[in-house]
Amino acid sequence: MFLDEIEVHLVLPWRYDIQIYYTARSTWPLEKSVRTDIRVYKEAPIYFLQELNQVSYNQTSKAVNIIRNNLIRRYNDVIQT
C-alpha cells in the first residue's frame, strides 16, 4: 500500500513583529503507529530572541523590566501549549 504525506502549516501572529510558525507532517491517511513530526519556528526581532535566550538559559538572572518579563513569560506559555 502506497502512503502519501500530509503537511500542515499554521502561523500565529503573536504580536505585530513576532510570529510563531507551526509545521506538522505525517503520512496520510493518519495511523496511530506512525509518528507525526511537529516543528515550531519563531520569527522576531533579534533583541527579543536574545532576551528569550538569556531568560531561558540563565534562571538566576534578575531582570529589571517587569513588563519585559511578563511579555517573555506569556510568549513561553504560548509556545508550550
pTM of the full structure:
0.69
Q: Tens digit of pLDDT per residue, the chain (81 long)?
A: 446 889 999 999 988 899 999 999 998 888 888 888 999 999 999 988 887 777 554 454 555 567 777 888 888 888 876
Q: Judge if the upstream peptide bond of residue 45 is cis by omega within 30 degrees of 0.
A: no
In this prediction, residue 8 carries a pLDDT of: 95
> Under a CB-based contact definition with an 8 Å cutoff, are residues 14 and 20 in contact?
yes
Task: Give just the sign of the alpha carbon dihedral 78, 13, 51, 37.
Answer: positive
In this prediction, residue 71 carries a pLDDT of: 80
